[in-house]
Structure 1
């Protein structure tokens, strides 16, 4: 089951639901922002502050969502705080503007409606039904609690109502609707020639003379900035990893076993009936007896909890309270839980909170982590701690050594580490560890680059510490021909292919103007030709590039071809053969309605964008 939860937490449903928490509204530019140097918060919207903590939490949440969505395919640089901060902060600002306006209109959200939406959401269901454990697991994996998620969803519900109010005010004229239907229903006959790269001759384009001539004519293109080659010492924790003393492992094992031992746990749900301020004892007792009677008749516990429980927080979850190890709830409840069998419901249980009916959903026995697992974990922790201590001592020694010495060799000898030589790098770019800006800045600092000193010790991510010294300075100039030969060859081949293609297009268009058909031209030039009749804008048989080119042409342009590159390789010479005007009569009723809805949606979105921009103009937004 846990594996199912883990897999489910990566599903598109989950990403959509969690992604709705931080709303990404239309960005309207920065003209309405007032910048201020104060650091008391991230921003202020109509007098309400967005704290730095809120912003950082939202950034972390966005980072998790991107990681879940794209996994290993995501470039780590896209997760950088500086890159995420502007868009996340704008989202928080616009959410605050909308929340403020929704409050002024007294737009309300029903907690019970939100609860029903949560329990009815497929994202939180296993085996066809709502799973409170699955729900909590998903929230935990996204850094949320139930109360946080419910509050976010209630706010989201209010904002969605506001957006609906605004968007539904958009007015679309019958003429606009008809024009959109006509465009969408238009059909086009498309012919095109398939031109492989191999069809376009590039012989002679990449001769030695041609390469040399291109190099000489475009020498500025191959300019190379001033560069250096550096020697460096890098200290990492791995250099100081040592065997662990078995006695230390044994000394920690007993405490670790006690810490990791889990107690027996019971998963429970309850229905809580509390006596209201204006309710007499008889009315209170009547409600308790009504719950008891419905439970005795075999009605579903969760359904009764959602309908009748006065504990709003758990009612929306079918009464689910999670797990207890015997110490979570009042003694009266814990005693009742201990006496229940799985699936059994208790009699009425009285506590200071009111009257409870308790369902035991599941009971798990106490468990203990094996000695082997804990021993390995302790060894890893001890090994890591020791290597970090030794590393920091070595870093202190390295700092002293590079400060007093006029080379790296003596420091390396004292520390028993190697010196590594870099490849050439400039102020703006480098390979390997010199991709790090801090190292390049250190290498080109005056005291290192000009005065020929060792650098200070620079700390990088991953507990890496580097000291460097410039060995060789390479003046600015041009990259040698041999280094850029391949680049020039690719450029010359592309240019030759484009020239050949341009000539082919001219020949085909001349033949079409002379009255020849595309089919006969294809035969003359030994090219493959294809046709698609009555293609719509939603056609999936044509290559997307061909479809786009065909519908980009003027309706009258039926006697010429245009060349476009195709993702699958090569080119297509596209001819628009005929255009059949769109008509609502050619569409199914469902298709017509879908188009009407789409036009309405577009107009609604435009109106909402204007509305949001107006809120920003009229509001007071201070970004710090």
Structure 2
């Protein structure tokens, strides 16, 4: 067939043109004009779009970083619309600062970059690594040494774009006093909570209320686009079970590599040293030699007492020194003459006097361990695994193209490929975005993009075999496709009932709370049940933070006042603020606060600079698309 194609290339081009052009023009044009969802812009900076795919990549990076720092975190917290929006805001900020760097030529010198690398504690561990280790660590992050310096340069330039004004900010004395007074302010309050949970426990929505809420909030009950798939993974690990280790090769490998299966020999010894100073005279050297000879004569007469004699010699810097040498491998001492003697002796043998840099030494071999070759039976499984791994790698290299051809040519099912390569079909339900913690190929955006391609979804053809990792190919087949749809009321009824109950409870709590605030305003003598003094310095959590903040913001210029506050959980708080009692900070508190307030002042100026840069470089958010994608991601997470 391929010979026919090669021989009639021109004829086939004409035929394909006749077939494809009408189909493209009258049937498939609309599908080509529909934008790929991953390429849809969600924001733009300086005339350049930020796509949904770029946002999603940033979000995954942020999630991975948070999970690395806090493995116990509930992943649902990272899939909320607010968490997703933070990732987009981070990406927008990065693009704004990059635009400022480019337009305002805020280049950073090489000297400044190198200085940052050499002095910043963040890189201290990296600097301490040997070059080979450092290169390997950087490579795992997709970086080289130059790439790291480029990243540092970009970071410094972006900081320069925003922080230039902030770090030079001047904190006026009046602002400092106003901030100090506000920070240390204490207020006596009374308050009452109208708990939404208590109201919800008494509410039972009617069927009509449930149905009306469901119709009005259908967008809250949208199921994301999903596909149930079969998939195959071709990788050396999957092929290793098909490989058998040739016994002849296993034995040959053992015979050729016995040194690898030998435990290194180690020896211990006792020693006596007649010391000689580096600048000793010939007379002193002769005296030390004579001392060593006399000691040798003594221990030769009574070899069993050698170790005791060596340990009893005082370690006081005198002419004699003795002791024990722990087990060591050959070469560990760094003294060739001593090494040669020690590793040529038999156990309990005493050496002759050995000249070393420090004097004249005598050693007795006290122990030998290691040096034995492991038997073939001991290491046979290890060798078999190693040879099977090597053969599986070769098999993968040989099968990769065949695997691609098989899943493409027999596109109606993965059965033929599974049989041909002895692979086990696996199943999964996936969305366009990799699920948090998805294993192996299911975390590959490339494979998921192929799963949701028109040919896979509508024509039920296998996806192409795509590279989903190093030495890893995967192909999928869509068994069932489920487009994005509003889930039926019967399926989500419990969720709708809970939502209706909560909405009614929130409304009831707010109604009663507002009534109590009105009463408090009319009747100054009306006391609310809980009385307490609150301040910004209180970290006990005894009073919810929103209530503390509302109390501290209340205007007391006309005397005590009453205010109402809707709390984050839907409850409502009625608050009577009675009086303010300023706290006078001591010198230590004042100094600490000045540091904190100065940093906050600089940060605020920095944010003001950023806001002006956002306006200058025309930041635009596509809120409708953002809402759609955050809703999809949150639904997928649930």
State TM-score, norm by structure 2.
0.50
Match of 1:511 in 2: 519
Alignment of structure 1 residues 276-291 onto 2, 5 Å: none
Match of 1:186 in 2: 185
1:561 aligns with 2:564: yes
Alignment deviations for residues 359-394 of structure 1 (CA, whole Å, 9 cap, x no partner): xxxxxxx99999699877765554444444445627
Distance 1:154 1:486, change over 3 A: closer
- Aligned partners of 1:31 and 1:163: how far apart in 2? 16
Match of 1:550 in 2: 551
- Aligned partners of 1:248 and 1:598: how far apart in 2? 71
For the residue of structure 1 that corresponds to 2:539, the secondary structure is: coil
Distance 1:251 1:596, change over 3 A: same
Alignment of structure 1 residues 32-51 onto 2, 5 Å: none
Question: Is the contact between residue 169 and residue 605 of structure 2 (CA under 8 Å) also seen in structure 1?
Answer: yes
For the residue of structure 2 that corresponds to 1:205, the secondary structure is: coil
Match of 1:457 in 2: 464
For the residue of structure 1 that corresponds to 2:502, the secondary structure is: helix
- What count of residue pairs does the alignment treat as equivalent? 445
Question: Is the contact between residue 549 and residue 564 of structure 1 (CA under 8 Å) also seen in structure 2?
Answer: no
* Shift, 1:403, TM fit: 0.9
* Shift, 1:149, TM fit: 11
Distance 1:561 1:225, change over 3 A: closer
Match of 1:491 among 484, 491, 499: 499
* Shift, 1:508, TM fit: 1.5
Question: Is the contact between residue 235 and residue 395 of structure 1 (CA under 8 Å) also seen in structure 2?
Answer: no
- Aligned partners of 2:484 and 2:395: how far apart in 1? 42
Question: Is the contact between residue 406 and residue 453 of structure 1 (CA under 8 Å) also seen in structure 2?
Answer: yes
1:212 aligns with 2:218: no
Match of 1:467 in 2: 476
Match of 1:591 among 568, 589, 592: 589
Match of 2:490 among 478, 482, 490: 482
Question: Is the contact between residue 510 and residue 572 of structure 2 (CA under 8 Å) also seen in structure 1?
Answer: no
* Shift, 1:505, TM fit: 0.6
Question: Is the contact between residue 64 and residue 142 of structure 1 (CA under 8 Å) also seen in structure 2?
Answer: no
* Shift, 1:600, TM fit: 3.6
* Shift, 1:235, TM fit: 2.8
* Shift, 1:588, TM fit: 0.5
Question: Is the contact between residue 240 and residue 387 of structure 1 (CA under 8 Å) also seen in structure 2?
Answer: yes
For the residue of structure 2 that corresponds to 1:560, the secondary structure is: strand
Question: Is the contact between residue 166 and residue 607 of structure 1 (CA under 8 Å) also seen in structure 2?
Answer: yes
Match of 1:172 in 2: 171
Distance 1:466 1:493, change over 3 A: same
Q: CA RMSD in A?
A: 6.6
Distance 1:194 1:590, change over 3 A: same
* Shift, 1:239, TM fit: 3.8
Distance 1:580 1:337, change over 3 A: farther
- Aligned partners of 2:69 and 2:135: how far apart in 1? 17
- Aligned partners of 2:337 and 2:152: how far apart in 1? 35
State TM-score, norm by structure 1.
0.50
1:69 aligns with 2:76: no
Question: Is the contact between residue 438 and residue 458 of structure 1 (CA under 8 Å) also seen in structure 2?
Answer: no
Alignment deviations for residues 573-620 of structure 1 (CA, whole Å, 9 cap, x no partner): 15142342647xx110222233333444444556678899999999xx
For the residue of structure 2 that corresponds to 1:461, the secondary structure is: strand
- Aligned partners of 1:475 and 1:150: how far apart in 2? 45
Distance 1:227 1:610, change over 3 A: closer
Distance 1:375 1:161, change over 3 A: farther
For the residue of structure 1 that corresponds to 2:189, the secondary structure is: strand
For the residue of structure 1 that corresponds to 2:232, the secondary structure is: strand
* Shift, 1:546, TM fit: 2.9
- Aligned partners of 2:122 and 2:225: how far apart in 1? 59
- Aligned partners of 2:508 and 2:112: how far apart in 1? 66
Alignment of structure 1 residues 186-335 onto 2, 5 Å: 186-219=185-218, 222=221, 232-237=230-235, 238-242=237-241, 245=245, 248=249, 251-252=252-253, 255=257
Question: Is the contact between residue 240 and residue 392 of structure 2 (CA under 8 Å) also seen in structure 1?
Answer: yes
Alignment deviations for residues 292-349 of structure 1 (CA, whole Å, 9 cap, x no partner): xxxxxxxxxxxxxxxxxxxxxxxxxxxxxxxxxxxxxxxxxx99975999xxxxxxxx
Distance 1:615 1:257, change over 3 A: farther
Compare CA radii of gyration and give the structure with the larger one: 2
* Shift, 1:498, TM fit: 0.6
Alignment deviations for residues 401-439 of structure 1 (CA, whole Å, 9 cap, x no partner): 54146444444444555556665x777799977775545
* Shift, 1:537, TM fit: 1.2
Q: Which runs of 5+ in 2 are unaligned?
A: 1-42, 50-60, 267-330, 339-368, 617-638
Q: Which runs of 5+ in 1 are unaligned?
A: 1-28, 36-60, 126-131, 265-333, 342-365, 523-528, 619-624
Distance 1:499 1:141, change over 3 A: farther
- Aligned partners of 1:153 and 1:219: how far apart in 2? 47
For the residue of structure 1 that corresponds to 2:538, the secondary structure is: coil
- Aligned partners of 1:370 and 1:91: how far apart in 2? 64
1:393 aligns with 2:396: no
* Shift, 1:178, TM fit: 1.9
- Aligned partners of 2:452 and 2:337: how far apart in 1? 74
Distance 1:336 1:30, change over 3 A: farther
Question: Is the contact between residue 448 and residue 469 of structure 1 (CA under 8 Å) also seen in structure 2?
Answer: yes
For the residue of structure 2 that corresponds to 1:241, the secondary structure is: helix
* Shift, 1:139, TM fit: 7.3
Alignment of structure 1 residues 317-466 onto 2, 5 Å: 381-391=386-396, 393=399, 396-397=402-403, 399-400=405-406, 402-404=408-410, 406-417=412-423, 437-450=445-458, 452=459, 454-459=461-466, 461-462=468-469, 463-466=472-475
